[in-house]
Structure 1
Amino acid sequence: MTPARTTPRTSASSGGPARRLSPWRFVMVFGGVSLLMDFVYEGARSVTGPLLAHLGASAAVVGVVTGAGEAAALGLRLVSGPLADRSRRFWLWTIAGYVLTAVSVPVLGLAGVLWVACALVVAERVGKAVRSPAKDTLLSHATAATGRGRGFAVHEAMDQVGAVLGPLTVAGVLTLTGDDYAPALGVLAVPGVAAVVLLVWLRARVPDPIAYEATSAAPPPGRPSPVEARQPELPRAFWAYAAFTAATLVGFATFGVLSYHLVTRHLLPTATVPVLYAAAMAADALAALATGWLYDRVGARVLVVLPLLSAAVAGLAFTGTLWIAVAGALVWGAAVGVQESTLRATVADLVPTGRRATAYGVFAGVMGVAALGGGALTGALYDVSVPALTVTVAGIQAAALVLLRTTRAARSGPTANP
């Protein structure tokens, strides 16, 4: 009997995953890992725009670099996803990706040359590309038992606790050191090491999380279980869903461009930008929990909110009035919360286990191309005309709403869970 078909109830000799950690405990511990790592990289991302501007970057350069970073974080999963599926070494890919991020961020604070800083910004995102398809696949097994929307939403909410603490820590150190980026980012090495240690412990406790999914879905006689299912091609509904997602990202600004606007227009001092980013991450967590809960009840129709949020970001965040720009940043955080939780949950329901890491890789690749276009487009339009930026993004998001209505994913609810 292969490990993939061994269930926790029948693996007494090996101590299967569910005998050691329940599905919810697995989600919570994995959430703790993500909390610590979000502390690291969200702390860094909160000051990416001002840091690059300090080294001489223009808004267009910030847009291209941060967009390229997101493209790397998403596009390279086209490689890491299929490789994870073929090797079945999901834990190895996950750990390697976290290590790369944990190393890149503290070194970024030491960069004194623009091109070095740009390379490290992208390197940190490459770490996310290495780990994400494997990590999401591991997590998807446990959420088969907890509920896709709820499981991914709770994980994302725990992410955002770290995403709040990290920027606040960076803001505090910047204030104490007079905007010195070296200690502000160097302190993030501590949670990075802690995240890797906790992840290694979790891997030792639950070496084969697929057993959670094996026992959560009992197929009718004669049908393969989700664990055994293999498809030569990804479902058509998956591709339609990916197209809708890409459209929402093409018109979505990066926080690098938002923070560039806030600092260069003298709306906020540099040390305050991470505080706003932390507030945006709190909005992220709330939006993830709300849409995850709704997803388990009404399905992918809840995603109609994403184009609306994305259009509102452009209309609010780039104004010259502080409170309106702050509101735009909070809306930006809410949109990211939907992207990072409910979008991932839908992929797990559309694609069977045997192709899931590949699907996450392909899905992220599509998102990566869109993110690069979105970062470059919003950065370039910002340099030309803010009204043109607002109108263009609104048009793109209107097209995304139309596309959502035509996709099979928009008409499909969760299939793996009640």
Structure 2
Amino acid sequence: MRSQVGIIGAGPAGLLLGRLLHLQGIDTIILERRSGDYVLSRIRAGVLDGASVRALDEAQCDARLKRDGLFHDGFDIVAGNDRFHIDLTRHTGKQVIVYGQTEVTRDLMEARAGDGAPTLYEAEVIAMEDIADGPVRITYEQNGQRGEITCDYVAGCDGFHGIAAKQIPDDIRRTFERVYPFGWLGLFADVAPCSPELIYANHENGFALASMRSAKRSRYYIQCPIDADLNEWSDERVWDELAVRLGPEAAERMQRAPSIEKSIAPLRSFVAEPMRHGRLFLAGDAAHIVPPTGAKGLNLASADALVLSRALTALIKDGDPSLADNYSAERLRHVWKVERFSWWMTSMLHRFHDDDAFGARVQLAELDYLSGSEAAQKSLAENYVGLPF
């Protein structure tokens, strides 16, 4: 098979890039090692900032987002016995939208099917050759059979464990990583949210988050040991801990029901440099991961896809390499700012050590300062709704 662009990975970054390039008349083939059902079953992010909204608008895949998304003007922070509001709209004139990554993926998959553009599911890439000069040859395995795709450029959108980033030679590639000493225990339940907007909580027992996917479906998280046994966390125990950490106002409004999904996720900060090597470009989790505290993972991937689509369009249609040549440097400038914000939110709201009384007091002092400082709230709001890129 032959295509102008081969895309590895059918998550939001790969699907969004494929759609944006299709609208420019550029041929793409997407290879995904998992099944389509598996891709749709993954429970991921739910807060979209300006990058995702803009990208989905340009991809003409935002009809359901506009109809079903929950538009939020801000969120609350609980610190000790205090609860205060961060007014995003007042500080920035912008909103965020609660709309699950699963729904974003569904919208993009349906658009790609409607375009008639090929996506090969359960197709595992096992080799990539001639990345430096091209044309690139991608060898994959599907249903026990080997196939090959020849393409002019490759977009690696296959995540942290994928093959694409490993094609950059070790003497060129640098990685930066911070693994956090705790995880998030997430609970999904068909109950109305306990608050009209998100609640982030810093409690002596650890971090908690009250979120939602719709007016009738809630998503909650609590900080837990990274090696916690999920079997020891019954639904009742999780609900009890949420009621304590989120404070009495949330506890009073919290509805309880059996979980429809419950899992523990690790947290890490990660960046790989560069994001381009020869004819290979990286996007999404293949290049960077942020802890979910700042709700930036999907939004960074959307920004990558939007910028990369423009770079490849200029390169393929106009023969202009300038955007492609600057892709890595420009994206990394934005990525590191978002990494900083996500690290800061994580550091401010989580408990790192049970015996770190000094660190806990510093966190409370910072939260106290944030609650009374317009300048600090504006800075948080600017980052939360999405920095320019």
Q: Give the TM-score, by structure 1 length.
A: 0.29
Q: TM-score, normalised by structure 2?
A: 0.31
Q: When you count strand as a share of all residues, which structure comes out higher?
A: 2
